[in-house]
Each structure stands twice: as C-alpha cells, then as structure tokens.
Homo-oligomer: A and B are copies of this chain.
C-alpha cells in the first residue's frame, strides 16, 4: 500500500553533501566501517520498514490495542514487526561490537529510524522507547544491573519504557509522589501511579523494563529529590531467567486520537506490597540521568514528526500530479482539458510549504544527531564540548520546530487532497492525527520556550549561543559567495540580527521581572525556530548550488538541486519574515497575555 518511504536521494544528500558523514570513517570507533556498510544498513531499514511496519499502519489505527482485564491485545503484525526489528539488529545497532552491536554512527541510526517512523510511527514506539531505556541503563546503572538487563533488552527479549508522568503533576516532575522505600538488600519498594506511559503494557516481549522516577523516603523536595529506578514487569532471577510477577499493574489504557498502536497506559506500582525496584546510579540524581533519555527522545520525537510530515508531502504530491481538476484562471474555455491540480499555484504553495517543513525538519534532526555524534566521538575535547553545548542549546528548537511545522505540513497534505484527504480511505488524515501528539510529549512548546529563554541561552556566559551565531554567520558568508544564494544570505543576515536584538532585549526584561520577562517565551521559541529553520535551508541551498556545478550532472539531479534551492527560497522569503511582527511584540515586552485576569475569560 505504501509505495514510497521518505526519499533516498534526499537522505544521501543530507548524509554526504550537507553533513559530510564520510568523515566519520576516520574516527577510531568507525574504522571498520565503510560507506557500503552504511548503505546496506539503510537499505535493510527501508526493506523491513516497508515489509513489517508499513503493512499494518492503517490496521493498527483501526483496530487499536485492547485490555481485557488480564492482558493487552495488539494486532499480531505488531509482534512480527518487533521481531523483525530485533532480528535485524537495530535494537543494538549503535552499541559496541562487544555488546553485540554494530557500532553504527548516530546519524545512520537516526536515518534508519526515520524509515520506521515513516512506515508506522505507532509500532515504532516500542523499539524507540526500548532503545532509550537500554541507553540509560548502559550509561548509569551498575555493572550487575547492566549484566542483568542489557543483554535481553538488546536482543529484544525485554522491552523498555520511561515512567515519569503522574496523574497529578503532568509535566511538573518536581512534584512527583511515587515513593521508594529502601530494603535491607539494597533494593527498593516502589509505590505510586504513573500515567501516559507509552508501551507500558503488552505481550510483545517476555518482560518490560520500566525506568521509573521516584523519591526515596526522606529525599529533598523538588527535582533534587528524584531518583531513577529499574522496575521490571517480572522480576529477573540472578541467572537472568524471568521470575515472579512484580507488583506493577496495568490500571487501564488511554484512548488516543492517533498513535493508536502504541499503548498508552496508567500503571499502578506497588498496590499490594510494593514493586521491586533497583536504584540506577546514585540517589537523587534521577532527573539528571533521565535527561539523557529525554534529550535523545526529543530528537527522536522530532524525527518522527519529520517522517510523518515527509509521508504527507509524498502522498499529496503524488495525488496532485495525477488528479485533474479545473483550469487556470486565464483559461475561460470550458471545453479545454482540465489541468492536474499541481498546476494550480496554490497547490504548489501547499506542496512547497510541506517540502520546506518536512525536508527542513529531517535535515535539522540529522544535524542534531551529528552534534550528538561529535559530542561523543569528535577528535578534540574542544570539539566535543562545543558540539555538546550547541546540542544542549538547540534541543528545545530541535524538539519543537519539527513537531509544530510538520503537523502543519500534514494539515496542508489533507488540504491538497480536499474531501478525499478528510476520509480514512486515504492515509493523510492518520498522519495528521498521529503527528498531533508530537507537540505534546517530551515537553510542550511552553516548556521548551521557558527552557530556552529562561536557562539555555544564558549558560556559560552565553557560550553555546555565541557558537550558534558563529555557525550561522559562517553559512551566511558562504552564501554571499554563491550566485543563487546572495538574496537568501541577506534574509538570514537580517533574521540573525533581529534574533540578537530580541535576545538582548529579553535578557534585560528578565533581569527586571522574571515572570513578565519570560511570559512570551513560546513566541521567542518560535522566532528562534524560524531562524534555525532558515539556517538549515541556507545550508542545503549552499550545497545545492555546489551540486549544480558538478560535472556530468544528470537531469534528475539538476531537478533535485533546483528543488532544494526553491524550497530554501520559499523558506527564506515566505516563512522567515514572520519573525518581524514577533520581534516587535517581544522587544516591546507586550504583556497583553500576561496581564489578562482569570475573570476576564
């Protein structure tokens, strides 16, 4: 049913023209790899995604998980997909050879994951969360916990979840109530309720490893009292065998608008005598550890949003190319042939906007993955620190910009299909419903706006922010040297200047009165996101002009590069200028929303 997942040509462009991922082969960790191995990995991902994930994307939506009071029932294709994913090695792909992994670079792993997201974002939720949980155990758990849990997780016998949210605190983790009581043997008894836990129960794996945030009795108030625990669904004996049922019970499933084949659960920990939990790392450092998983998950969420945006774009493009309807305004002859709707200027606008959001978001996610890579494997400590700082700064934008605009892309895909797009007979309405989750989980825009403007900009005397600006300036300088990119360079030059003025002004406002100064942080996040989006497109435009100068250029490649230039032109001239009124509001410190009183609503 799904004929195309993403665009191979674009993936090659992103990996080897925009990002120069070939240079990774020079790093010791990847010395045994070559480009053919990367390509083979991507081909495998694409093949499995098509065969085992795309096949039930619609069915998993129509026949959502059910809980019969005993067990959660998923459509059987879900288990086949899990097994195919595990057997092809993707659960362990980025881990070391000794762990049974492929030592795959982050960007190759992420590009592979994009295929699975594009095919079926809901079913991909299970491996996605398991990979994150395993990373957390690997990074912070003791050797004995690692030995007990990591191998079955990387083999796919156990899956994983992240259990943060509770019914009464939502995003405010400082206020979680789940308690951990220390036992004589060094383990803990966990008691509390967690909500919106994705993949929190199912029968796909013999065990489920919940990574649970809880407070040890007597811990400090707030985020400084949060610890991280491994709480498995079934206890695990010392020899690694599945033991007795742990005191973790499924209270119920939540029924979502989309993303349906990922169970969303309410879990009761320790209703009876307490759920057995193992402390990960040191007490009270749980949130700090969890942020590793969250930050990875944030790029992952963004990548999922990008993949859905991409599929909507591809689907609506194919539709627009074969659907005849109407004539151009200049043609008044009703007996002339109808044009295909791609010939209508407004349909091209909707396609170009989708292209700019989806391909831009995909490019941004791979860029973030390359920063993650550099943070760990770049040659010098300075390079590693710089990458870490940039990634930390940009994570709020990397999470939010794709989530917001790829949902808008899906909205436009529906609009291109018109009435057909509104029916479940076509796939775009499901992309839209699935994608609506992405601006919510792993932090709403409000949360990321506050994180960016309230904290990240100002860290280390704004070092990361300054690094970001110098990266953007370097691209602008390159673009001024190109023929096709001079006008675009001017646009971003002005945009960056404006961002800087706004940041400066807001710094002063926050210094004055912090609540008022941060009141419009979500607008700042969007403005920042547009500048980043424009930069991401300028980078692509620069590489496209280089591509167009290559000797022996094929017609197909020429069209590809011209498309990139046109989408960049669209983003720089249509989307970026929306920051002007936003900058005015922010510089004024417009307080209309801040000052609105409860009883006025």
Contacts and interface: CB of A to CB of B under 8 A. Distances in A.
Interface of A: 165, 168-172, 174-175, 195-196, 221-224, 254-257, 264, 317, 321, 323-330, 334-335, 338, 342, 344-349, 351-352, 355, 411, 414-415, 418-419, 421-425, 429, 432-433, 436-437, 439-441, 444-446, 449-450, 454, 513-515, 518-522, 559, 562-563, 566, 569-570, 573-574, 577-578, 580-581, 584-585, 590, 592-601
Residue in A345, A521, A522, A584 with the greatest tally of chain B CB atoms within 10 Å: A345
A10 to B, nearest CB: 12
Given A221-B335, A419-B441, 17 more contacts: A165-B419, A170-B323, A172-B327, A175-B325, A175-B334, A196-B419, A224-B334, A255-B423, A329-B450, A329-B454, A346-B521, A351-B596, A352-B592, A422-B436, A559-B597, A563-B599, A574-B590
Residue in A168, A327, A424, A446 with the greatest tally of chain B CB atoms within 10 Å: A446
A321 B600 CA distance: 12
A518 B345 contact: yes
A226 to B, nearest CB: 10
A600 B222 contact: no
A171 B601 contact: no
A319 B563 CA distance: 45
B419 A221 contact: no
A581 B578 contact: yes
A515 B342 contact: no
B522 A256 contact: no
Contacts of A256: 422-424
A324 B166 CA distance: 13
Contacts of A595: 566
7 contacts: A255-B425, A257-B423, A351-B596, A411-B436, A559-B597, A574-B585, A577-B581
Residue in A171, A348, A422, A580 with the greatest tally of chain B CB atoms within 10 Å: A422
Given A256-B424, A433-B257, A446-B344, A566 B592 contact: yes
A423 B254 contact: yes
Contacts of A174: 326, 334
Contact of A584 (B257, B355, B514, B577): B577
Contacts of A454: 329
Contacts of A221: 334-335
A484 to B, nearest CB: 13
Residue in A326, A346, A419, A522 with the greatest tally of chain B CB atoms within 10 Å: A346
Contacts of A577: 581, 584-585
A328 B592 contact: no
A557 to B, nearest CB: 11
A351 B441 CA distance: 20
A257 B170 contact: no
A110 to B, nearest CB: 24
B580 A592 contact: no
A521 to B, nearest CB: 7
Contacts of A326: 171-172, 174-175
Contact of A345 (B165, B330, B433, B593): B593
Contacts of A419: 165, 170, 195-196, 440-441
Contacts of A170: 323, 325, 418-419
Nearest to A321: B598
Given A326-B172, A574-B585, A594 B348 contact: yes
Contacts of A446: 344, 346-347
A563 B601 CA distance: 6
Contacts of A585: 573-574, 577
A172 B338 contact: yes
Contacts of A325: 169-172, 175
A421 B440 CA distance: 9
A540 to B, nearest CB: 13
Contact of A581 (B165, B344, B581): B581
A78 B518 CA distance: 49
